Every structure is written in structure tokens, then in C-alpha cells.
Amino acid sequence: MIGEIVFLVFIRILSCVTICFPLCSCILRIPDFAGITTFEMEYGHWVNEQNRQITELRTALNAHIGDIELRILVDGMMNHYAEIFRMKSAAAKADVFYVMSGMWKTTAERFFLWIGGFRPSELLKVTVHI
């Protein structure tokens, strides 16, 4: 089983052709590079918007605005985070290995994932036991 997974990962890296691998009953597709490129661009815009919203929220907190205005800002941020999950979902449909590798994350985010114990290679162990 591990040999099959290693073989699939190797073929995925080569991205040569669409392959049907009958031993594990799965189809390996060429990654959708357009979908990944779109995600990277949208993610860059998302980070810029997040920074703008954080600045706006800090300014509002320092100005001691009312609860209604704060609620509007918080709801906007919650919607903003819902958008990143939608974007990740679309990117995972294009290339799940790209999303799970976390290469689109900042160095600090990858560091904290590593410190926290998350390794993308752990997913291979999970799939072996399925």
C-alpha cells in the first residue's frame, strides 16, 4: 500500500498524463494550474484586505465606538474568513496536494504548524490505514 502511495505521489509530481491506477481504484489528474494561480492571486488580495480590516478594527477600538459599529466590523471579518475557506475549497478541488503542503502560507505560519506537530506527510500515514 505504501508503495502505491509513493508511486502516486511520484506520478503526481511528474504530472505527465491522466492515469488510472487500478490497485487503489483512484484516478490521478494533472493539477489545475489555472486554479492554483487564481488561488494565489485571490489569497494575496485576501491578506491585504485582512490587514486593512485589522487596522480598521484597531482604529475603531481606540476610538471607543459603539457596540453596533463594532458588531458590523466583526461580522465583516467573519465573512472575510468564510471567503478564505471558500477559496481553499476551490483550490483543493484543483490540487489538494498544493493546499495541504501549505506553500501558499507565510513562513511564520508554516513554522507554527511545524512546531504544533502538523506535517503534511502525516496524511500519507492516515491514507495507509484507510
Q: Tell me: the pLDDT tens digits for 50-72? A: 999 999 999 998 998 888 999 99
How far does CA 33 lie from the centroid of its chain? 15
Q: How far apart are CA 113 and CA 123, in angstroms?
A: 14
Asked if residue 80 has pLDDT above 70, the reply is yes
Q: Which helix (H) or strand (E) holds 27?
A: strand 26-28
Q: Tell me: the pLDDT tens digits for 32-43? A: 567 788 888 898
For residue 33, what pLDDT is reported? 66
Asked if residue 106 has pLDDT above 50, the reply is yes
Q: How far apart are CA 18 and CA 9, in angstroms?
A: 13
